[in-house]
Chains A and B, each alone.
Chain A
Amino acid sequence: MLTKKQNLMEVMKGGTPDRFVNQYEFMNLIMEVPLGVEFNYGQTWKDHWGITWRWPEGQLGMFPVHDQDLKVLKDITEWQKYVKLPEITTSDEAWAAAIDHANSVDRNEEYVTAFFAPGIFEMTHHLMSMEDALMALYEEPEAMHALIDALTEYELSFAKVLIEKIHPECIFHHDDWGSQKSSFVSPEMFEEFFLPAYKKIYGFYKANGVELIVHHSDSYAANLVPFMIEMGIDIWQGVMTTNNVPELIKQYGGKITFMGDIDSGRVDFPGWTREKIYEDAKKACEECGKLYFIPCLSQGLNISSFPGVYEATSEVIDQLSKEMF
């Protein structure tokens, strides 16, 4: 039986895997990294950028709040006045838990994986609201380029510390680039504003010992796949069924691997059933096949919104491996 890593490599390189890669099994996520990202259920708080977040009780996630008085970036042309880059924590004490966790991982079996969020696109709209950020791409392109450059430099500064501290072999990087049906911006606009930023960031990681770049965008983004490949993404996690994943595999398999095709929205709800998960997972596995594909919930971490769904999905994928391999 292949190790988790070996099996993943067989899938990604078009070889002979002995089972499906089961969701996030190859990533050992070092969530203790002092990233500054908080998840405070039932609360309202400000993060280290000054962005106000709200996670009301009963909600599945948290939201940035953009009432005019709470927006961090009130005028893109004056972004330098409003946006203060947070200090990057470097103390041994702050990193101790992450380092201990990374050191405990069997690197022959799993990838020491650093989680990073939010990405560059999300940062632009967290700072000033989606509407302002998207319109600024047209109305104030020079200021947006400058802001994106600054956010990129911040990420690179963090990346240097991250590499020094835990020597990750895999980066799991979030940045949602679309809705369920389309990318938020056109491919041309994406190429102009966001591709250069990610070529720098992912290029830096690859040049410093990171073997695997896994990018999360639980959305439609099929029209951006050529750019994903160009910027160095190895695995697109969160790919939804609206992307026609079997077709993407035919077109791009060998250059990138697709992880998802089980839409969390369809199977992860209060009345979830194993039968429904099996139905969606089986369809995904049968249509996408054994290569360049990892069956996975579209959710951006190894958890589910409702208890038991992630675990049941993993069990179903194990069952499908027995049935199909």
Chain B
Amino acid sequence: MSKIEEVKAKVESGKSKLVPGLVQEALDEGSAPGEILQAMVDSMSVVGDKFSSGEIFVPEMLIAAKAMSKGVEVLKPLMAGDGSASLGTCIIGTVAGDLHDIGKNLVSMMIESAGFDMVDLGVDVPADSFVQAVKDHNNVKLVACSGLLTTTMPALKEAVATIKAACPDVKVIVGGAPVTPEYATEVGADGYAPDAGSAAVKAKELATA
């Protein structure tokens, strides 16, 4: 098995202590940093698919994301200033009035693993703060908003409308337990994802469209 293949396998199985060493070995063997990064992104894509299909659970996804981030730490100094490695910036947060951060954190990790630079605004984010964050950061391609409660769905609608009005070129993706594809369309979102794995796929699709 090549070192890159080993990196892929160990990211997928969440071996965060082994991945940095394997990434270094792959570099020593002459693999390009971008190639190694892509291998890890591909692994996380497999992890996301397995989570979406119910084959693996939250802990497996968490340790895989951690393993990847340990590998990325090794690559970062070698890729500084190499914008081609990023799919752009993604702003993420739960909408005003919603304090549920577990799902949002998982989505953030998976979108980051797909190749985005993440700006996590946390929970209970007013619509205007999403807009401000888009203005404050470079190369923002996507805003991800989540709402877990039926009571915060109006805030989700307001967030999407405010972001789209102020930043028409930025794509908005929504999710959360009560959100449906139909609701996402109704409120004017560009995309919807039912879980963290699908969110990463959808984010990539929207940013590269």
Contact = CB atoms under 8 A, between A and B. Distances in A.
Contact of A180 (B54, B58, B62, B177): B177
Contact of B151 (A137, A182, A184, A270): A270
A270 B152 CA distance: 11
Contacts of A131: 62, 102, 105
B58 A134 contact: yes
Given A179-B103, A181-B195, A265-B177, A58 B97 contact: yes
A265 B100 CA distance: 15
Given A180-B177, A181-B195, A138 B59 contact: yes
A266 B150 CA distance: 8
A134 B106 CA distance: 12
Nearest to A187: B57
Contacts of B66: 135
A135 B195 contact: no
B60 to A, nearest CB: 8
A56 interface: yes
Contact of B54 (A60, A182, A265, A269): A182
B14 interface: yes
A183 interface: yes
A135 B149 contact: no
Contact of B59 (A134, A179, A181): A134
B57 A60 contact: no
B78 interface: no
Interface string B1-27: 000000000000010100000000000
B99 A138 contact: no
A130 B102 contact: yes
B102 A60 contact: no
B171 to A, nearest CB: 25
A179 B124 CA distance: 20
A60 B63 contact: no
A15 B175 CA distance: 44
Contacts of B177: 179-180, 265
A32 B4 CA distance: 60
A179 B175 CA distance: 14
B63 A185 contact: no
A185 B63 CA distance: 13
B99 A56 contact: yes
A90 interface: no
Nearest to B57: A186
A193 to B, nearest CB: 10
A184 B150 contact: no
A180 B150 CA distance: 14
Given A60-B151, A269-B151, A137 B195 contact: no
B178 interface: yes
A59 interface: yes
A41 interface: no
B167 interface: no
A28 to B, nearest CB: 30
A269 B177 CA distance: 14
A139 interface: yes
A63 B100 CA distance: 8
A60 B58 CA distance: 25
B197 to A, nearest CB: 11
B56 interface: yes
Given A138-B14, A265-B178, A184 B97 contact: no
A135 B60 CA distance: 8
Contacts of A180: 177
B99 to A, nearest CB: 5
Nearest to A184: B58
Contact of A135 (B59, B100, B151, B194): B59
B99 A185 contact: no
Contact of B57 (A130, A182, A270): A182
A189 interface: yes
Interface string B28-46: 0000000000000000000
Contact of B56 (A56, A135, A186): A186
Interface in A260-294: 265-266, 269-270
Interface in A162-197: 179-186, 189
A43 B105 CA distance: 25
Nearest to B51: A182
Contacts of B97: 58-59
Nearest to A139: B63
9 contacts: A56-B99, A59-B97, A130-B102, A134-B62, A135-B63, A138-B59, A183-B57, A189-B59, A270-B151
The 5 closest A-B pairs by CB, nearest first: A134-B59, A269-B150, A186-B57, A180-B177, A130-B102
Interface of A: 54, 56, 58-60, 63, 130-131, 134-135, 137-139, 179-186, 189, 265-266, 269-270
Given A63-B100, A138-B14, A189-B59, 7 more contacts: A59-B99, A131-B62, A134-B58, A181-B194, A182-B57, A185-B59, A265-B177
